[in-house]
Structures are given as C-alpha cells and as structure tokens.
Amino acid sequence: MSDMKIGMIGLDTSHCPTFARILNKRRSKTPVTYAYKGGTKAFSHSINRVDKFTKQLRKKYDVNMLKSIEDVADKSDAILLTSVDGRQHLEQFEILSKYQKPVYIDKPLACSLEDAKKIIHLSEKTKTPMFSCSSLRYYNGIYQIGKDKDIKIAEVYGKVPIMEDYPGYFWYGVHSAEILFSILGAGCEQLQVASYENFDLVTANWSGERIGLLYGMRYKTSADWSVKLFSDDGVIDSIAKNKPSGFELMVPHILDFFKSKKSPINNQEMLEIMAYLEAVNKSRENGEAIQILV
C-alpha cells in the first residue's frame, strides 16, 4: 500500500523512465501511479520520443495511463510536471493549480520570464505548492559546494547545445545556470555574452561585487559540468560526479517537498534563473549588456 500516489504529466523526456525507475522500486511507498501522455508537435524532441517513453512507463513500470491532466491530478497526491517543452508548462500548471496539490516542474520552469512569473503568481494565488530545478543542482561535486566560503568569483563550465526549434539556453543552458545560482544565489544584476562558434562566455555581475562566469560549450567532445570558485581562502575546483546519478540525489528533495509542501528554492531565485536565461539569449544575438530585472 503506497503512502503517496504520484502523477506524471508529459511523457516526452528520458527523465520520465528515470523518475519511474527510482520511484517504482518494489514495495515503494511513493510510486508514479498515474500519467498523462502529453507531447507537442512544436518540438522535435517531444513528438519524436513521446510514444517510446509512454510505452516504457506503461509496460516496464506499470503506470496507469489516463486521458487528461485533470484525471491525473484528481487521482494523485502529488505531481511531476515533466513535459519536455517548457513552453507548455504555464498552460498545464493552470490546470493543475485548481487541485492545490504539490507540483514539481522539471527544468526549465518555463521558457520566458513572463510565463515563469505567471506560474509563481498562480502558485501563490491558489496556494499550490510548486518548485522547479535541474538535477545538476544536486550532483555530488556540485551540491553545497562553497557554502561555507565567501565566494567572490564563480566559474561554471557545461554543455550548451542549441536546438533549432527551442529557445536557446532554456534547453541545456538551464543546467549550468542552476549550478551558478546554487552557488551565488539570487542577486544577479547584469550580464553580457561573448558568443563564438563552439562556446559562449557569459559574464554576469552579482550583488556584493561578485562575478559569475558561465562557459557554454558546444564542442563535439564537451567536458563534464564543473566549477571553479574563488574566495579569500583560495580556489576550489570540482567536477559533477555521475555516480550516484543526479536524479537519485534529487528525488529525496522532491519527496520532502511533496510532504512538507515547502520549496527548497525560493521564488526569487527561480525567477532570476529564468531572467538570466532570457537575457543570455538576447545578448547572444547582439553582444549587449542586459539588465536582470525581475
């Protein structure tokens, strides 16, 4: 007998079977029980994969497929909103917010600052607990790094492929941005991008005279995600470790959120990440400095 029945919305990402593999272990008390297929023709990585992942969820993990978001929300105690296209998240959250059940939104929270603001406004207005993040935030080698130091400069290195049918850094840039904000927190004031064929350098100013540098790599053999932190105490170098997986380390935080209904990340930080990604996309086009206004 499960303590919590989890619903899943949008089965068009590899994250779906990953969540199910972790949550639907034998005698699990928090299984993914219900799901709505979803998907969108607007994004190739959705429409080309949704059938495959839906079949996996149904056959391998015994997840019950329902006909609508409303059906899943009604039967579930908590929701994983996993739709791979962040442009769908606002519309889907509008439906879910009517049920006031805790919702984890897989990265990105949205694909625009405007949509992200509307999601958070809905969350507050309807008293629907919500939080969103990338699993990179919880990787060993990243999680809590530099927390006991006064970090002056943070450098983050990560893969940032650009998709033709998705808005720039909202696809993979969100991972590196999450790492950067997990270290420096909210307070990003301005950024500027120097864009090259195989990488971008994003230079951002934080409050308290701090600097965040993000190197977005597009080399065929890009390095793993890593950080280099500078403080008065010296330099810290660290690489995100793949074992255990970031998802295995993130899921306990999601389950804690489902039970406590309190997000481990504050709304200001989640909004600033969206503003940061939006500003990066703009600055990549014209090279101009962009103010971060939330």
Question: pLDDT digits over 178-199, tens only?
Answer: 999 999 999 999 999 999 999 9
Domains of the chain and CATH, by start: 6-133 (3.40.50.720), 139-241+276-291 (3.30.360.10)
Q: What are the structure tokens assigned to 34, written together?
A: 């219900």
CB atoms within 10 A of CB 41: 7
Peptide linkage before 244 cis (omega within 30 of 0): yes
Q: Which residue has the tokens 């941005």?
A: 177
What are the CA-CA distances from residue 222 to residues 62, 157, 158, 217 (Å)? 36, 9, 8, 6
Q: How confident is the model at residue 48 (pLDDT cuts 50, 70, 90)?
A: very high
In the chain, what percentage of residues exceed pLDDT 70? 98
Per-residue pLDDT of 74-119, as tens digits, reads 999 999 999 999 999 999 999 999 999 999 999 999 999 999 999 9
Given this model, what pLDDT does residue 12 score? Answer: 98
Give yes or no for residue 73 having a pLDDT over 70. Answer: yes
**Can you give the pLDDT at residue 26?**
82
Whole-number pLDDT of residue 220: 77
Does this model's pTM top 0.75?
yes
Q: Examine the pLDDT at 63 and tell me if it is beyond 70.
A: yes
